[in-house]
Amino acid sequence: MILSRQRLIAADAVFAPALVFAAHLAVREPPSPEPVVASWALAVAMGGPVAVRRVYPLSAFSVVLAAVVVAFATGTVPDYASPAPYACLAPVLYTAVLGGRWEPLAASAAAGLLVARDVGPWPLVLLALAAPGGIGFYVRERRAFAERTALQLAERAVSEERLRIAREMHDIVAHSLSVITVKAAIAGHVAAVRPQGTQEALRHIEETGRQALAEMRSTLAVLRTPEGRAETGAGAGAGTGPAPGLSDLAAVADHAARAGVEVTLDLAELPPLAPGLELAAYRIVQEAVTNVIKHAAPTACRVTVTRDLRITVVNEGEVLSGHTPGHGLTGIRERVAMYQGEFTAGPRPGGGFRVSARLPLGAGA
């Protein structure tokens, strides 16, 4: 159970009067008991600051240390009663070390006690200084380490999220622009001889552009909402629906067909997948088909997804010359690596190109 700061301060406020009373008894011990007023004043100076040690750690430590030094230097507290002043010094030393550098504090405590004439048994002195100071130093370093670790994890999460969004944006833009470019080229070729073909191509360009904008809004919604949640309710945009999955591959095949690539889907029945894993599988197929559109259209290709989530995209056409390599295969490789899967890609011996990826079924849970 972790107590809140307010409860810890309240506990100190309850504990401080007990220390004041113990210090008062120590000061009143013979052989030379102090007057009542003086003994209470010294006792309050030794035990009272404990009540505010979490609010004013250095000030509380300074007052208690000065009062303890005075008590020992004047012989007010005999050796057998010295545990009471040390009991007052230990908690304020702990909080002072916890909140600042420990070397000056330990040196000032040791120097102050050395100037005193009677400091009590040395083992007790060492215990009173080393134990709270060492514990305070250890706790402070552990907290600092935990804060550094949390910061590193947060920075890593931000970097991974940026990389994920970059992959999503690349897949969306690359696929949509590839289809739009092919259809625009078709429209330019048939404009003079078949005007109705031009209208169909322009309509397909419009549909592809709208779908790309909707997916971009859905992807970028995590940058505009707290904790990466998509917007909901009246203020939600049109593109903040669920992420696409393997059930949406028919739309990818339809887009490819309009761009001159006939896609055959062979999808096995799969168990329920983690959302991130299913999105990764969808993007792998989409990117592979986009590469076929960009580099081999018009042609035909087959998309196969087996029960062990092995994804294979094979096209039969020759890769067109004059195309510079893009980031498609790199993006697929990175997605597969995120889930510690397997990835291969390369030309087929009989012509065409083959992309194969396998994602572990239990990944992303």
| Tens place of pLDDT per residue across the chain (365 aa) | 556 778 888 888 998 999 999 988 888 777 666 677 888 898 899 999 999 988 888 888 889 888 888 887 777 877 778 788 888 888 888 888 887 765 666 666 665 555 554 555 566 666 667 777 778 878 888 877 877 776 677 677 667 766 766 666 666 666 666 666 666 666 666 666 666 666 676 766 667 666 666 666 665 555 554 444 433 333 334 444 567 788 889 988 888 887 778 899 999 988 888 877 888 888 889 888 888 877 776 788 899 999 999 999 998 766 554 444 455 687 788 888 888 889 999 888 877 889 999 998 876 55
Q: What share of the chain is helix, strand, coil (3-state, %, to 5)?
A: 65, 10, 25
State the pLDDT at residue 364.
53
What is the greatest pairwise CA distance in the chain?
Answer: 121
Q: What's residue 9's pLDDT?
A: 87
CA pair distance 186, 201, nearest whole angstrom: 7
Q: Which amino acid is at 8?
A: L
Angstrom distance (rounded) from CA 336 to CA 338? 5
Query: Which two three-digit tokens encode residue 118?
Result: 């009677």
Q: In Å, how far from its chain's centre is CA 128? A: 40
pLDDT of residue 322: 43
Which stretches within 48-121 are classed as H helix? Answer: 57-73, 83-99, 102-115
